[in-house]
Structure 1
């Protein structure tokens, strides 16, 4: 869905990072949040892509540094490394985790290591 929307907008170069960020945030919403889970993509004229994932829960996400042997715990760390900014907004229905992706930026090589 993300790739298709970005292709419609002519933003092919942002597809890899955007898919990874959305995948991590949606997975967290499904695992730790509450229904309903929704996704919204917003773009700011070829400068910024904002991914918003909302769910019905009110628990805060925790950024942590997973150990070498840990099987999980890297999702928000990756989001923080791949985005310009990210954060959480709360309302009566739950929370929204948002991530701002700078368009035209390169993926840092140390993210792959």
Structure 2
């Protein structure tokens, strides 16, 4: 892989940081030549929001750290590190009336792949990779292109 580190920034654990994170990621990706960044911006919004809602990052004095990496010319990885929680982030299905609980499910739907790295002191980093080119990549296995093709054909799973 020819990964290229694009940047890192630390934001306070307040609601306004979600918009700031989106703006910073958009600026970094634009400067690096990435074009189709809607999924990356959705992902960063969801990951920062989850950190603020479900970890110590959302408490007084908490912070989130965001890293942005160009995996290659058309794929980026965004990663959010939090201040720690008692649980490990996981995608789940929410009921139709639930106000929360769809964030990681959305990340799972729009990312090529995503995961969680457990760090010391209860901290974890949640990351996701997404395509930032203008043409959806052809995938033989699972991933966005395969999932979209299945949904278009009406196939579940």
TM-score by length of structure 1 reads: 0.85
Q: Does 1:29 align with 2:51?
A: yes
**Which of 76, 97, 109 is 1:49 aligned to?**
76
Q: Does 1:20 align with 2:42?
A: yes
CA distance, structure 1, for counterparts of residue 53 and residue 117 of structure 2: 18
* CA positional deviation for 1:62: 2.6
CA distance, structure 2, for counterparts of residue 5 and residue 47 of structure 1: 14
What does residue 77 of structure 1 align with? 105
**Which of 117, 135, 150 is 1:89 aligned to?**
117
RMSD: 2.0
Q: Does 1:2 align with 2:25?
A: yes
Does the CA contact (< 8 Å) of 2:35 and 2:132 recur in 1? no
List per-residue Cα deviations over 1:28-61 (Å, max 9, x = no partner): 0111112331100000221421111001214211
Gaps of 5+ in 2: 1-23, 57-61, 138-143, 152-157
CA distance, structure 2, for counterparts of residue 87 and residue 96 of structure 1: 8
What does residue 11 of structure 1 align with? 34
TM-score by length of structure 2 reads: 0.63
What does residue 93 of structure 2 align with? 65
Gaps of 5+ in 1: none
Aligned residues: 109
